[in-house]
A and B are shown apart, each in its own frame.
Chain A
Amino acid sequence: MTETQRPRNGLLPVLAFCGFLLAWELAASTGMVSATFFPPPTRIWSSLVDITGSGELPAATGITLLRFAVGLVSGSITGALLGLTMGWWQPLRSLLDPFVAAVYPMPKIAIFPLLMIIFGLGEGSKFVAIALAAFFPMLITSLVGVRQINKVYFEVGSNYGARGVRVLTHILLPGSLPSIMAGLRLSTNSAFIITISVELVAARSGLGVLLWFGWETFRVAELYAVLVVIALLGILFNQLMERVTAAVVPWMGE
């Protein structure tokens, strides 16, 4: 896309979104739609300001991000290491394939009650659940990443004298990096979903708890305000991943 085309293309969605908010505002304040279920955007905004000022929202966002980050980092790193090893080393792949096949398709939230029995009701079970959610997409994509490296690259390496560690650093790792980055994106999304989910089910703090609290006390505007924050975080993560990917694998083009 050229520079001159960008603003023209970017403006229309923004206008459409503003129009949507304006229509919502009018419809809710004139009673065309129920303001109880669909409070007008201005009221959601002031609720957002309220819970931000009271410190509730920043504290909840902080703890949610912490759980998410710890789970994502530990889960995706172990997933990548195991996936690369399984991709490279056939015996390990044969050994672990049935386990992966059994656990991978299972919604991770389904294992959460079991995790609470094993790791207790504190942070431990939550970290493990989030880490598992990040672990599997990363495991699968990095395994596939190694397997799909064109055989000719290993031949070139071997012919030009690459041995041992150099095969790893010059061919195996960079060759699977695009897949690993795609995996990181999947892991980020799946870890974020599970973070909010475990907070809804069993936490005393965090954005999920704030959501649940909004439902229990029927503070609908607050519920919307928290949803806005969650949506913004989701968008932020995706943007961030796009940037990181472009920086880490500059050879991928568009």
Chain B
Amino acid sequence: MRDKHQIVFSCTALSKDFVAKEENLSALRDVTFSILQGEFVCVAGPSGCGKSTLLRVMAGLLTRSSGEMHFARMEAARPQTAMVFQSQGLFPWMTVLDNVAFGLEMQGVDKETRHDLARDFLEKVGLRDFVHAYPHTLSGGMRQRVAILRAFLADPEILLMDEPFGMLDAQTRIVMQEELLRLWQERRHTVVYVTHDIEEAIVLGDRILVMSGRPGRIMADIPIDFPRPRDRDRILAKATSLQLRIWNMLREEVARDLGVAP
């Protein structure tokens, strides 16, 4: 069933324009790429380059303005996508347990089953004591862990992550990246992970799509060949030239967005 090299998503000449006050704002232009089954794809680019817009179009939260987009459905019972939002994605009125089980509830799974599955999952990652807590009692890092568990438990064909660690401090972010890799290693979901952090993209991804400043185009598609499971420290020791190469691509884009002369 799960052919490693099967294409699960592809888009061709995808564009998205926003019309605000009769002004046409182009967020994405001619974006073309495809994703293989089980691939961890990072999308890196300067802030405001349309990375989030790309995810929202993929998630069906925004409609595309032009171009083609195709999902190859493997199993009809699984949801097409599940998204982890940058922050505030948890429902404050639901306990951790109900938040994690939310995707299953929407898929029609009965209460006992979905609570059992969610509780098992939470216990496995060491969140046993927070099962009945409300999100406002958790730290920002813990809230994002819960949001990630919710997305994994929904078991979508493609996991979409919109800078899930963007609001966290640098140290918390590193620990969260390691936990994300551990979780991912088990089921190997197909992931599209948006970030502006080059280092993060190298540590997590099988591939990095480097996006230009607005309107977002794909400037480069760079494979990352480090073996898995990933060892963050070893990768970063070896990846300096790669980091520089990507940064040199992005530097101009950032400078242009800021109006800084190159």
**Min CB distance, B153 to chain A, in Å?**
10
B106 near A156 with CB under 8 A, answer no
Main secondary structure of the interface of A (DSSP, over half): helix
| A252 partner residues in chain B, CB cutoff 8 A | 136
Is B46 engaged at the interface, CB distance under 8 Å to the other chain?
A: no
Which one, A156, A171, A174, contacts B89 given CB within 8 A?
A156
Using a CB–CB distance below 8 Å, which chain A residues touch chain B? 150, 152-153, 155-162, 166, 170-171, 174-175, 177, 249-253
B residues neighboring A (CB under 8 Å): 56, 59-61, 79, 81-83, 85, 88-89, 91-94, 102-103, 106-107, 134-137, 150, 154
Residues of B within 8 A of A170 (CB): 91, 102
A251 and B106 in contact (CB under 8 A), knowing A152-B89, A156-B83, A161-B79?
no
Judge whether B91 and A156 touch: CB under 8 Å: yes
9 CB < 8 A contacts A-B:
A155-B59, A159-B60, A161-B106, A170-B102, A177-B93, A251-B92, A251-B94, A251-B134, A251-B135
Task: Report yes or no: A159 in contact with B59, Cβ–Cβ below 8 A.
Answer: yes
What are the 7 tightest A-B residue pairs by CB atom distance, in nearest-first order?
A174-B93, A161-B106, A251-B134, A160-B103, A159-B83, A160-B106, A251-B93
Q: How far is the CA of A165 from the CA of B94 in the complex (A)?
A: 17
Q: Are A161 and B93 in contact (CB under 8 A)?
A: no
CA distance in complex: A159, B135 (Å) = 20
Q: Count of A-B contacts with CB under 8 A?
A: 57
Inter-subunit contact B136/A152 (CB<8 Å): no
Query: Are B93 and A156 closer than 8 Å at their CB atoms?
Result: no
- For the complex, give the distance between the alpha carbons of A150 and B88 in Å: 9
- Could you tell me if B82 and A251 are in contact, using CB atoms closer than 8 angstroms? no
A158 proximity list for chain B (CB < 8 A)? 60-61
A-side contacts of B61, CB under 8 Å: 155, 158-159
CA separation between A171 and B102, bound complex, in Å? 12
- The complex places the Cα of A250 from the Cα of B132 at a distance, in Å, of 11
In the complex, which residue of chain A has the Cβ closest to the Cβ of B62?
A: A155
**Candidate in B79, B82, B92, B93 with the most chain A CB atoms within 10 angstroms:** B93
**Cα–Cα, bound, A175→B91 (Å):** 9
Residue of chain A at shortest CB distance from B90: A156
Does A250 lie within 8 Å of B134, measured CB to CB? Answer: yes
Interface centre among A159, A161, A171, A253 (most CB of B within 10 A): A159
Least CB distance, B158 to chain A, in whole angstroms = 12
The one of B81, B92, B93, B134 in contact with A159, judged by C-beta atoms closer than 8 angstroms, is B81
Residues of A within 8 A of B150 (CB): 160
Q: Which residues of A contact B89 (CB under 8 A)?
A: 152, 156
Give the shortest distance, in Å, between B161 (CB) and chain A (any CB): 12
B106 near A166: Cβ-Cβ < 8 Å: yes
Residues of B within 8 A of A150 (CB): 88
List the B residue with the shortest CB-CB distance to A253: B136
Chain B residues with CB under 8 A of A157: 106
**A251 B136 Cβ-Cβ under 8 A:** yes
Chain B residues in 8 Å Cβ range of A153 = 91
Query: Which residues on the A side are within 8 Å of B94 (C-beta)?
Result: 174, 251
Q: How far is the CA of A124 from the CA of B92 in the complex (A)?
A: 42
Contact A249–B93 (Cβ < 8 Å): yes
Contact check, B134 vs A160: say whether CB atoms are below 8 A apart.
no
